[in-house]
Amino acid sequence: MSSHNIPVVRINEVQRHYNADKLEVVEIFGFTVCVGKGQFRVGDRAVYVPPDYEVPVARPEFAFLVDKAKAKEFYRVRVVRMRGIISQGLLIPAPKTIDAPNPNSPGKTWIKHIIEGDNLIDHYGIRRYEPPIQNIGMSGDSVEAPNGYFPVYDVECGRRYNDVLQEGEEVIVTEKLHGCVKFNQSISMADGTMKQISQINVGDYVLGYKDDQNIPSKVLNRFNNGSAEQWLRIETTRDKAITCTPNHQFYAGKRGNNDFYSEASELVVGDTLYMTRIEEFQRVMPQTITAIDDVTNKTVSDRYDLETETHNYFAGDILVHNSNARFAWRDNAMHCGSRKLWKKEDDNSAWWRALEAHPEVRKFCEEHPDIAVYGELYGPIRSLKYGLREPHIAVFDLLHGNTWLSHDEAHKIGPNLPWVPFVMRAPFNMKLIEELAEQDSLVKTAPQGHIREGVVVKPIIERTHPAIGRVQLKIVSNRYLGKE
């Protein structure tokens, strides 16, 4: 019997989709799911398949996914955006009865009447998605994902979604503990031209990458991050090169069906990056790193970065990204991961070194094997070093099964964890929070006057919003970003 759960749930509310006449929205366990109009009514029972489970398309219940499975036996359920609303999983009508193993007569079946809370994973032959094991040339190889649900962590821009939190709503504000390129680095524009990153403006369209193709991507913000303490020059075949800070992220290809990015500091000669070519503008082409040099003493430049609709862009024709950490105790073993990959235990891995510096995180995971710890690595691996010589962990969230714990619940169950600095608990006021983002860092090891990258804001009571899913927003400081 599987330990995973594909539950029978009851529909408590059906909401209209604000941008699609043929879709409606249902909330399950705090997740939003888009369904066909009229497919469900309040009081109906349904089967909920969370993201990162695979359903067999040979079964009639999932036959509508045959084309999307692309000749595979299973279709992986993922988080998708459907006409502007995030859909986090799949809902199908629940059967009234099923043929199930008879617990009193081994080898025989009986007719089981389905009730709310039943787990139908074995009935449907649904399985947990397991990403392939990949060696991607990072500091520490990647390994198989542990048993459990560990979603990739994202926080949306508060200035873009400033209507998600309501004035006066009680919120928690914590400190936000990002890589950049040189001011004269050439960026690929959507019209095929090249422009220096320092000359790009909000509203311009650069070349981005999404769904295996290059597309126009609107610039939402341009950041001037001031001077950097270290610069790396990465050269590739086809005489391409980019100069960037060590924590700037590069597209490293597919891992299963997911796009993956590697920080510059994790790359080695021989790794593969991806570039665009004018003569094949709609494609990305693999190329090999031929040299990585520290050019700090040869580089005097401000750092720039862009925030785009696709969360990526091409710098020097090379696809880059605009680091999180995850920790969990599963199957009597400690597991340690970055934002998208799980890391083999290795003294050279920044994630494992950070965990070694925080035995309280390991102790918590061992005592709470049903909870995953999400945090940020900070210190010498980033441009803001907070007076540290070794990477450290700042915890910002706890995931219990499929449910994010509220701030109060998380701090009650994990009072000894190394939490991100607490800034404020008060009614939401955008002007005040923007002012708080500009203050100095509260990290204890940070020298006086150390700038704050920004703040993260989330409501006291966990909730979701159709446009972004889980409600939490980041406000990045102008001191850090130099946003014009």
What is residue 480's predicted lDDT score, i.e. its pLDDT? Answer: 65
Phi, then psi, of 157 in degrees rounded to 5: -75, 125
Does residue 358 contact residue 393 with C-beta atoms inside 8 Å? yes
Distant-in-sequence, close-in-space partners of 68: CB < 8 Å, separation ≥ 6: 75
Q: What is the pLDDT along the chain (484 residues), one digit of tens a residue?
A: 334 789 999 999 999 998 899 999 998 876 789 999 999 999 999 999 987 789 999 999 999 999 988 888 999 888 787 888 878 889 999 999 999 888 788 888 889 999 999 999 999 999 977 654 333 333 445 678 888 888 877 777 676 677 899 889 999 999 998 434 444 556 778 777 878 777 888 888 888 777 667 778 888 766 655 555 567 888 887 667 777 776 666 776 665 555 556 667 667 777 777 766 544 444 567 778 888 877 766 655 555 667 677 767 776 555 554 457 899 999 999 999 877 678 888 776 778 888 999 999 999 999 999 999 999 888 754 456 788 877 789 999 999 988 899 999 999 999 999 999 999 999 999 999 989 998 999 999 988 988 898 899 999 999 888 777 889 998 878 676 433 2
Residue 435 and residue 432: Cα distance in Å, rounded? 5
CA-nearest of 299, 242, 301, 303 to 275 is 242
Residue 461 and residue 44: Cα distance in Å, rounded? 27
What is residue 367's predicted lDDT score, i.e. its pLDDT? Answer: 97
What is residue 238's predicted lDDT score, i.e. its pLDDT? Answer: 66
- Sign of the dihedral through C-alpha 341, 464, 155, 202: positive
CA-nearest of 68, 125, 402, 129 to 255 is 129
What is residue 264's predicted lDDT score, i.e. its pLDDT? Answer: 75
What is residue 443's predicted lDDT score, i.e. its pLDDT? Answer: 92
The contacts found for 23-27 with CB under 8 angstroms, 24 or more apart, are 23/82, 23/83, 23/85, 25/85, 25/466, 26/91, 27/464
- Looking at residue 275, the DSSP 8-state letter turns out to be E
What is residue 406's predicted lDDT score, i.e. its pLDDT? Answer: 94
What is residue 138's predicted lDDT score, i.e. its pLDDT? Answer: 34
- The pTM for the full model equals 0.54
Burial string for 372-407 (b: 16+ CB within 10 Å, else e) reads bbbbbbbbbbbbbbbebeebbbbbbbbbeebebbbb
Residue 240 and residue 318: Cα distance in Å, rounded? 8
- Looking at residue 264, the DSSP 8-state letter turns out to be G
Burial string for 317-338 (b: 16+ CB within 10 Å, else e) reads bbbbbbbbbbbbbbeeebbbbb
What is residue 442's predicted lDDT score, i.e. its pLDDT? Answer: 94
What is residue 93's predicted lDDT score, i.e. its pLDDT? Answer: 97
Q: Which domains, and CATH codes, for the chain?
A: 8-128 (no CATH), 142-177+323-481 (3.30.470.30), 181-321 (2.170.16.10)
Burial string for 102-123 (b: 16+ CB within 10 Å, else e) reads eeeeeeeeeebebeeebebbeb
What is residue 276's predicted lDDT score, i.e. its pLDDT? Answer: 61
Residue 333 and residue 108: Cα distance in Å, rounded? 37
What is residue 359's predicted lDDT score, i.e. its pLDDT? Answer: 96
- Tokens 């295996």, residue located: 212
User: Quick one: which H or E segment has residue 122?
Assistant: helix 121-124
Phi, then psi, of 334 in degrees rounded to 5: -85, 140
Does residue 49 contact residue 55 with C-beta atoms inside 8 Å? yes
What is residue 344's predicted lDDT score, i.e. its pLDDT? Answer: 83
Phi, then psi, of 224 in degrees rounded to 5: -110, 110
Residue 9 and residue 253: Cα distance in Å, rounded? 37
- Looking at residue 124, the DSSP 8-state letter turns out to be H
Does residue 206 contact residue 222 with C-beta atoms inside 8 Å? no
